[in-house]
Every structure is written in structure tokens, then in C-alpha cells.
């Protein structure tokens, strides 16, 4: 095979629905694979910790239906990675069931469905630490200790190409993956057809966010990637978009600490000496990528742990004197909460929109607040009842804050709601680490079945 084509319709399947027009243009270009990633850690730790989704099921079904019908129509494999935003086992099962249901509803001819899981049991990680193999922290985190492991509710391992290759080489027509490196699902398809690692991983890197590598800006549009032994080309499918040298090279740095290296399970894609060339109006060709295999095989782990139940309140301020003293108002409300609940065992978080709500301490203009402020209050505590009361105290006491020279003594803040609202529980990312494994497949159990009439 001299070249291989893959289309990607969505950079985060389900987060917003794919656009059908450019997807159908991509299908008409006769790709050899249709693939999309569904996961992200951008969505925060709540979906992983609580084993839920960030996206409505209807949007996920929409994209899976488009991809499945196209894949069966033109007879090429379809691959989806990081099922259901997090790739947890329950999300993989949910996607597998959606595929079965879609096959039945559309009366599809039999096809082979394969899937793999990526959740890691806490005891597996504990045993690894006990064996003397440190679970190393990424991004300035310390190595994992047992306390942080105990504080974790759910862990997923981030798969590389290996479980995908195993399922492709097993003849699967539709593959649903657990948590995965975004680029791995595309790279696996290219590697399974014999293309070199450097080009294969670059193909994955450039396709994973779909039309984010094209211009003008427009998300959820299909792009087509083509790989040979020598180069990777990427072409925008939307009639109004182009893949240019600037848009493709610019994409190399998107969401990454630096634009030169992309770490995957088993090695590093080196883009330092990549060359970009406009070879057609909508197509850019990339050459010069390299791949360096790693000495030891380490798998990235993501973990989320619950902090507590959470309620949210909101309060507005218009009085300029109160705005100038907003930190004292907040401290008053905190103090009332301390009097009720003591020093520890609960938390209040205040984001003061109109001053530094978006940027916090990094806001250069925090000494220049707007003429009105919105304070968003989060109360976190072990039980829902206590979280509601913490949030209520932290919000309502803003109304009663005692400022010495305030003119308006009938109430210090405005309320859109004189209540606090239930929110998702508070979670935090507990693991952003890597763990050594002996076998690239050991954390990713695979299954297959024949689906269809």
C-alpha cells in the first residue's frame, strides 16, 4: 500500500455535534479509515471522578450514527478513542451498546465490533509502588504516594497504539477504545498498514482535533489526512476552509507545552525539523518528522478524587464603596461560616467577576474593578446538607457584611436567586503521573463480538 487516507470529523466526539456537510465530503473522498477521539481532560475532573459524561448522550449518538453508517456504507473501519469523554469502563460499555443499538435500528449487515477497557484498579497501582517502581509525577507533581492514591476515586490509563493495533489486526470493523492518547487512534491505523512511526504519529497529531488545523477558524468540520512512507498531507473538507502552512504548523503547538515534542506511550514524536509546504489550495504537506522509541515503557495515568459535595450561590454588588471593600465583605461571610462550622472540614471559594473572576491572582487589572461585580460562591463540605448551608452562609452573609461607612444599610448585595443551587460534587485531579509496565497491552483488556443481523 503506497498511501493511506483517514478522515476525522470531530476533535472531541460528542462535545458538540460534527458538521454533516464536510463529513459527507470526507466520506466521498474514499478514506481507508474513519476515526475520532472522544476524550479530553479539559473537561475537568468531575466526569472521571463521578463516572459520568460531559456531553449529552444525544450528541454522542449523533456522531456515532454518522460515523457508523458511513463506515458500513463504504466498507472501511471506524475507530473511536476515549469513549464518552473519559474512557472509563462504563463509558466504553455505553458506546458499545450505542453501536449495537444503531446496528439493530438500521438493520446493518454483520460486522466485527472490538473494544478495550482502560480503568486501572487502585490496588494495581499500590502494588506497583510497593514493588519499588515509582509512579512518577508529570508537570512538577511529586511521585505518587499512598495518601494521594487513597484520595482517588477512579483511574484510567492512557493507551497508546497497542490495543488499537491488536483490534485492527484482529479484523475489527468498528473499534471503541478506553482512554487513549489522541494521536494513537490514527497512528495505530497507519502502523497496522505498515507505515513508519514518525509519519504515523504525525498523522495522528495533525488529525486529532479535526478542523482546528485548518483556517479560517471553524470547529467540528472534517479534515482528511493522507500518509505515505515519506510525508503526511492534510486537507480541509469544508468548502470554506483550507489547511495552510500557517494553520497546520500552528496546530502543532496547540494544547501542548512545546511544539517540538509529543510524548506517547512508547516514545516521542519529534517535530523540531518538520517542513511545511502548500501543495494544493486546501492541502499542506509535512515532512521531516522523527520518532524516538522510549527506553522503558511508561503509561500515563489520570485520576480524579472527590473533595466534597458542592452548592453554588451568586451575589451582585453595585455600591462603589462596597466594591472597593469587596475582600472585607467576603472575609465577613467567611468569618460567619467559621463561627458556625469551625476552622476546618469545609471550604468556600469566591470568584469575583468584574474584578479578577477569570484570572484570579494573574489579573494585571485587579486593582481596577468594574462598576458592578458578580460574586460566585462555592460551598464544599462532606454532606449535601452541610454544603448547602456553607454555601448559603457564604452567600447570604455577603448581604449583612458590616462595612463602617456604607450608606446602603438595607442590604449589601443584590440577589438573582435568594437561594443556593446544587452543583456537581467537587473533585480534583489527583493523578497526572506515569507508571512503568512490562507489556504495552497489560492494562487494556480487549473484547470482540459480531454485531448485526
Partner 1 sequence: MTKTRLSELAKTIRSKNAGTDKITFDIIFREREAYETVKRSGAVSRDAMARLFGIDEARITDFVEYDPAYAIKFTILRRRPSGSPGDPDIFGAQQYAPLLDVEVETA
Q: x/- string (CB under 8 A) for partner 1, residues 380-399?
A: x-------------------
Cell representation of residue 116: 478495550
Of 261 and 447, nearer to partner 1 (C-beta) is: 261
Q: Given 3-state DSSP classes, what are the helix, strand and coil percentages for the chain, each rounded to the nearest 5?
A: 30, 30, 40
Reduce the secondary structure of 387-446 to three states and give it as a string: HHHHHHHHHHCCCCCCCCCCCCCCCCCECCCCCCEECCCEEEEEEEEEEECCCCCCCCCE
Identified binder of partner 1 from the candidate list 1, 109, 359, 416, rule CB under 8 A: 359
Which span (82-90, 246-254, 403-411, 437-445) binds partner 1, by CB under 8 A?
Answer: 246-254
CA 122 vs. chain centroid, Å, equals 22
Applying CB under 8 A, the span of 16-24, 159-167, 344-352, 406-414 interacting with partner 1 comes to: 344-352
What are φ and ψ of residue 95, in 5° steps? -65, -40
Q: Out of 3, 90, 136, 432, point to the residue binding partner 1 (CB under 8 A).
A: 432
H or E segment at 226?
A: strand 223-227
Q: Is 267 helix (H, G, I), strand (E, B) or coil?
A: strand
Q: How far is the CB of 124 from partner 1 (least distance, A)?
A: 21
Of 213, 274, 333, 375, the one binding partner 1 (CB under 8 A) is 274
Q: Which is nearer to partner 1, 231 or 350 (CB)?
A: 350
Question: Regarding beta strands 298-317 and 154-158, do their DSSP bridges make them parallel or antiparallel, or are they unpaired?
Answer: antiparallel
Nearest-approach distance from CB 248 to partner 1, in angstroms = 9
The residues in 134-193 that bind partner 1, with binding defined as CB under 8 A, are 138-141
Q: Establish if 292 lies at the interface with partner 1 (CB under 8 A).
A: no
21-29, 84-92, 354-362, 403-411 -> range binding partner 1 (CB under 8 A): 354-362
When binding is defined by CB under 8 A, the residue of 145, 255, 339, 449 that contacts partner 1 is: 255
Q: Confirm or reject binding of residue 344 to partner 1 (CB under 8 A).
A: no
Taking CB under 8 A as the rule, does residue 50 contact partner 1?
no
Strands (E), 53-186: 78-85, 111-116, 136-137, 154-158, 174-176
Residues 234, 15 contacting (CB under 8 angstroms): no
Angle between helices 57-74 and 20-28 (to 10 degrees): 20
426 belongs to the binding site for partner 1 (CB under 8 A) = yes
Task: Report the alpha-carbon distance of residue 213 to residue 231 in Å, rounded.
Answer: 17
Q: How far is the CB of 260 from partner 1 (least distance, A)?
A: 7
Indicate whether 428 belongs to the interface with partner 1 (CB under 8 A). Answer: yes
CB neighbours of residue 358 within 10 Å: 9
Residue whose CB is less far from partner 1, 249 or 333: 249
Cell of 416: 438573582
Of these, 52, 250, 354, 452, which contacts partner 1 (CB under 8 A)?
Answer: 250
Distance CA 180, CA 184 (A): 7
Minimal distance, residue 198 CB to partner 1, in Å: 16
Could you identify the residue written with the cell 473501519? Answer: 77
Radius of gyration of the chain (CA): 25
Query: Are 262 and 205 a contacting pair, CB within 8 Å?
Result: yes
- Using CB under 8 A, pick the residue from 116, 186, 201, 276 that binds partner 1: 276
Give the residue, chosen from 52, 316, 357, 445, that forms a contact with partner 1 under the rule CB under 8 A: 357
- Binding test (CB under 8 A) with partner 1, winner from 30, 229, 275, 340: 275
**Among residues 14 and 77, whose Cβ is nearest to partner 1?**
14
Shortest CB 301 distance to partner 1, Å: 12
Identified binder of partner 1 from the candidate list 1, 253, 279, 294, rule CB under 8 A: 253
Rounded to whole angstroms, the Cα distance separating 286 from 205 reads 12
Q: Which of 105, 131, 358, 404 binds partner 1 (CB under 8 A)?
A: 358
Of the candidates 74, 127, 130, 246, which one interacts with partner 1 according to CB under 8 A? 246
Whether residue 424 contacts residue 46, with contact meaning beta carbons closer than 8 Å, is answered with yes
* Residue 106 Cβ vs partner 1, minimum distance, rounded to whole Å: 35
The least CB distance from residue 155 to partner 1, in Å, is 13
Q: List Cα–Cα distances, 32 to 1, 86, 380, 424, 439, in angstroms.
A: 11, 27, 50, 41, 29
Contact segment (CB under 8 A) with partner 1 among 100-108, 167-175, 229-237, 244-252 equals: 244-252
Q: Which position among 194, 360, 382, 408 is part of the footprint of partner 1 (CB under 8 A)?
A: 360
CB of 258 to partner 1, least distance (A): 5
Mark the segment that binds partner 1 (CB under 8 A) among 93-101, 126-134, 231-239, 342-350: 342-350
CB-based contact 380:428 (threshold 8 Å): no
Amino acid at each position: 500500500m503506497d498511501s493511506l487516507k483517514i478522515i476525522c470529523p470531530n476533535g472531541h466526539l460528542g462535545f458538540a455535534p460534527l458538521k454533516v456537510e464536510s463529513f459527507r465530503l470526507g466520506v466521498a473522498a474514499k478514506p481507508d479509515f474513519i476515526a475520532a477521539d472522544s476524550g479530553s481532560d479539559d473537561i475537568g475532573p468531575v466526569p472521571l471522578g463521578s463516572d459520568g459524561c460531559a456531553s449529552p448522550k444525544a450528541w454522542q449518538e449523533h456522531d456515532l450514527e454518522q460515523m457508523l453508517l458511513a463506515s458500513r456504507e463504504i466498507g472501511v473501519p471506524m475507530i473511536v478513542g476515549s469513549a464518552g469523554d473519559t474512557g472509563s469502563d462504563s463509558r466504553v460499555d455505553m458506546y458499545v451498546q450505542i453501536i449495537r443499538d444503531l446496528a439493530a435500528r438500521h438493520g446493518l449487515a454483520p460486522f466485527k465490533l472490538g473494544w478495550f477497557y482502560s480503568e486501572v484498579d487502585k490496588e494495581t497501582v499500590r502494588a506497583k509502588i510497593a514493588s519499588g517502581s515509582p509512579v512518577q509525577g508529570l508537570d512538577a507533581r511529586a511521585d505518587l504516594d499512598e495518601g494521594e492514591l487513597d484520595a482517588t476515586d477512579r483511574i484510567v490509563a492512557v493507551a497508546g497504539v497497542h490495543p488499537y493495533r491488536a483490534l485492527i489486526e484482529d479484523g475489527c470493523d468498528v473499534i471503541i477504545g478506553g482512554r487513549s492518547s489522541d494521536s494513537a487512534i490514527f497512528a495505530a491505523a497507519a502502523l497496522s498498514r505498515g507505515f513508519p512511526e514518525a509519519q504515523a504519529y504525525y498523522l495522528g497529531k495533525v488529525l486529532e482535533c479535526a478542523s482546528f488545523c485548518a483556517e479560517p477558524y471553524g470547529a467540528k468540520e472534517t479534515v482528511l489526512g493522507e500518509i505515505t512512507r515519506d510525508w503526511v498531507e492534510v486537507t480541509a473538507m469544508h468548502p470554506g476552509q483550507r489547511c495552510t502552512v500557517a494553520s497546520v504548523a500552528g496546530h502543532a503547538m496547540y494544547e501542548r507545552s512545546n511544539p517540538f515534542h509529543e510524548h506517547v506511550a512508547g516514545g516521542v514524536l519529534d517535530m523540531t525539523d518538520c517542513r511545511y509546504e502548500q501543495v494544493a489550495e486546501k492541502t499542506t504537506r509535512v515532512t521531516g518528522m522523527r520518532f524516538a522509541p522510549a527506553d522503558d515503557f511508561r503509561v500515563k495515568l489520570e485520576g480524579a478524587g472527590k473533595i466534597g459535595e458542592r452548592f453554588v450561590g451568586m451575589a451582585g454588588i453595585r455600591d462603589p464603596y462596597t466594591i472597593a471593600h469587596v475582600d472585607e465583605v467576603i472575609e465577613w461571610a467567611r468569618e460567619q461560616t467559621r463561627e458556625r462550622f469551625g476552622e476546618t472540614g469545609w471550604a468556600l471559594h469566591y470568584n469575583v467577576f468584574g474584578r479578577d473572576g477569570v484570572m484570579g491572582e494573574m489579573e494585571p487589572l485587579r486593582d481596577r474593578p468594574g462598576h458592578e461585580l458578580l460574586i460566585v460562591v462555592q460551598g464544599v463540605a462532606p454532606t449535601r446538607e452541610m454544603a448547602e448551608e456553607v454555601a448559603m452562609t457564604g452567600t447570604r452573609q455577603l448581604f449583612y457584611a458590616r462595612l463602617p461607612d456604607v450608606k446602603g444599610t438595607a442590604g449589601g448585595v443584590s440577589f438573582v436567586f435568594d437561594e443556593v443551587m446544587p452543583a456537581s460534587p467537587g473533585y480534583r485531579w489527583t493523578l497526572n503521573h506515569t507508571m512503568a509496565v512490562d507489556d504495552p497491552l497489560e492494562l487494556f483488556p480487549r473484547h470482540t463480538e459480531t454485531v448485526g443481523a
